[in-house]
């Protein structure tokens, strides 16, 4: 099974690494790190990842994983990722996104009329691009699976693992990763965080 993990400059590293840790270790999987070129790609916080292939070289994959980025608008404007997604999505078994990666799926026409989720601060942007926005952490609609912000990529990948290999494999993977979140603060969503913190975060995220 070929899984394409999409790379582009200033993407959010956990959007990619979380799903990779869940899916990339499965014995049936060959992971491909695909980007516009084979030059190292620097994520937003400085982590550098070396692509194994390019958009021009990889014209199909069984599963596609698209991370998001704080600078999502720039990636949309460049149009490179969306152009590749239009080409490969029709033959993929699963097309997935994490966080604002869903805006790239929408730009490619993949989310037209579909329920989908994204980072809470960008739901309006996703709606403006033709998706039916959900507030769920993970949304499965046919062959398309979208995740909310950043850490939700792990939930998305475990959901996908269950769909592909069955619940027992997904449960083992969750146990192996010791994925048992117990955050020290209760501010992980706009529904639970103080209003002033939500407003500040929205300004940072939407204005970036």
**44 to 11, 98, 155: CA distances (angstroms):** 6, 15, 22
Which member of 99, 110, 138, 160 is catalytic?
Answer: 99
Cα 92 from Cα 70, distance rounded (Å): 26
Q: What are phi and psi of 132, to 5 degrees?
A: -95, 100
Two tokens at 73?
């608008």
CB contact set of 92 (below 8 Å; sequence gap of 6+): 60, 61, 62, 63, 64, 143
99 is catalytic: yes
CB contact set of 57 (below 8 Å; sequence gap of 6+): none
C-beta separation of 160 from 23 below 8 A: yes
**10 to 15, 44, 68: CA distances (angstroms):** 11, 4, 9
Q: Which residues are catalytic?
A: 99
């Amino acid at each position: 099974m070929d899984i394409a993990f999409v790379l582009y400059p200033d993407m959010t590293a956990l959007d990619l690494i979380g799903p990779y840790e869940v899916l990339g270790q499965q014995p049936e999987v060959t992971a491909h790190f695909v980007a516009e070129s084979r030059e190292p790609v620097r994520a937003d916080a400085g982590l550098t990842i070396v692509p194994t292939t390019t958009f021009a070289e990889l014209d199909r994959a069984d599963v596609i994983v698209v991370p998001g980025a704080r600078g999502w608008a720039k990636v949309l404007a460049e149009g490179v990722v969306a152009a590749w997604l239009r080409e490969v999505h029709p033959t993929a078994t699963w097309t997935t996104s994490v966080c604002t990666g869903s805006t790239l799926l929408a730009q490619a026409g993949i989310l037209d009329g579909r329920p989908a989720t994204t980072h809470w601060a960008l739901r309006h942007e996703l709606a403006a691009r033709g998706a039916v926005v959900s507030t769920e952490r993970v949304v499965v609609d046919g062959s398309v699976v979208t995740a909310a912000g950043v850490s939700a990529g792990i939930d998305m990948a475990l959901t996908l693992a269950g769909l592909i290999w069955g619940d027992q494999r997904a449960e083992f993977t969750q146990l192996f990763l010791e994925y048992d979140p117990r955050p020290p603060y209760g501010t992980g969503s706009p529904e639970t965080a103080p209003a002033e913190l939500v407003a500040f975060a929205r300004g940072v995220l939407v204005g970036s």
